[in-house]
Amino acid sequence: MTAARADLVGLIDAERSRLIEFLQGFVRIDTSNPPGDTRAGADYIMRFLDAAGVPYRVVAPQIDKPNLLGSFDGAASGRHLVLNGHIDVFPAGDRTRWTRDPWSGEIVDGAVWGRGTVDMKCGTTASIFTYVWLHRLRDRLRGRLTLTVVSDEETGGCWGTGYLLEHHADEVLGDCVLNGEPSSPYTVRFGEKAMLWLIFRVRTPGAHGAYPHLSRSATKIAAHLVADLETLETLTPRVPDAVARAMGEPAVRAAIERGLGAGATEVVSRLTVNIGVLQGGVKVNMLPGEAVVEADVRLPVGLPRVDVTAAVERILARYPEVTVEQGKSQNFDATWSDPTHDMVAILQANAESALGFRPAAIVTLGGTDCRFWRARGVPAYVYGCSPDRMGAPDERVPIDEVLHVARVHALSAFDYLA
């Protein structure tokens, strides 16, 4: 181990308590999206960065959704690594379903509890501390390290990462991206399914409930539509050879099942349809004249968006009362980066040295901002905590995973640049 790397290990070990305290304070700030006002969360991070004396600036195309962008150079020229995390989190939902206050940041049973601990304040904390730690060692690095801490990830990213890449590409494009979204310690994510959010609106004349001969029911139409939308799941992807080889190993399939839950391997490889919103009707004895169906369609690698939208159009040809529009999802196909890239091997080696097993490189289920970089040809990889309880009541992240993810990120960023 070089002296510089040993110094980094010393920093990581010395600041374990400080990192957990930072995460607790971060979780105590409600950054739900919607509504998406992340200013208090950004202020909290800025105070930490100011105290650390590291460079950054605020980029806020929407005043209530600030993004933080910082960069520094090493002592010599080299590669440009970008760290990416987000401030906003899912809403807490019904608080009566929580054992503890979702904004408490309490430590119970060896875990930090609260909304957003898993998705992704743990990973964002890892990015922030990696940036601060490596800034202290910048005279022993080559290349450039950039930190992007964004808002608006949970609702599509157009005012967050999407905005930065559109308007500040010269600063944030980089040669490689490291992201701390939940992946589980058992996997490194080199690709992900695409999101296609569709809003279907059903409109009929409506009528009194006793007079069904005067109008078709918008809610009944919606129910039939939902059943037909499920037929999209039979569409067959054409998986690229490199992805098929990486995902076909038995050890990889086992890692997916262990990290993402039983049945995940099958779900990764096919299209899925989730009916996230179903609304209709005003009163029990009124025949509904309007209904709304919002579908979250996840596209696997090898199934282009254009094929799916064509299938949707064929379904809608049977429903003259229905119109469709796209939600806030971006126009991406499923994205993936080279599973044999240097960063994959670096992450695997650092995780293996700590855990005793080598995480598998996989394509995974949930979407991340990595898609914005991959769409521009920049390799982007995810290594984060386990997705257990993500987006659910009693969300929490084990402290040992928090510390492990931060350690792997810091050492991997150092190895990539040193």
pLDDT of amino acid 388: 85
Q: Mapped to the 3 state alphabet, what secondary structure does 206-221 carry?
A: CEECCCCCCCCCHHHH
Reading the block at residue 408, the tokens are 């792997």
Q: How many residues does the chain have?
A: 418
Class of the CATH-defined domain 194-252+269-326: alpha beta
% the chain with pLDDT above 90: 92
Whether 364 contacts 189, CB under 8 Å? yes
3-192+334-417 CATH, one of 3.40.50.12590, 3.40.50.300, 3.40.50.10490, 3.40.630.10: 3.40.630.10
| Torsion angle, alpha carbons of 272, 123, 330, 79, to 10 | -120
Span 283-314, pLDDT tens digits: 999 999 999 999 999 999 999 999 999 999 99
Kindly list the domain boundaries of the chain, sorted by start residue: 3-192+334-417, 194-252+269-326
Whether 239 contacts 302, CB under 8 Å? yes
- Give the closest residue to 27 by CA, choosing from 111, 97, 84: 111
Span 366-396, pLDDT tens digits: 889 999 999 999 999 999 999 988 999 999 9
Q: Which amino acid is at 277?
A: V
Model-level pTM? Answer: 0.91
pLDDT of amino acid 224: 98
pLDDT of amino acid 44: 98
Reading the block at residue 191, the tokens are 């690709």
- Give the closest residue to 114 by CA, choosing from 98, 102, 123, 99: 102
Span 95-120, pLDDT tens digits: 999 999 999 999 999 999 999 999 99
Span 256-291, pLDDT tens digits: 888 888 898 999 999 999 999 999 999 999 999 999
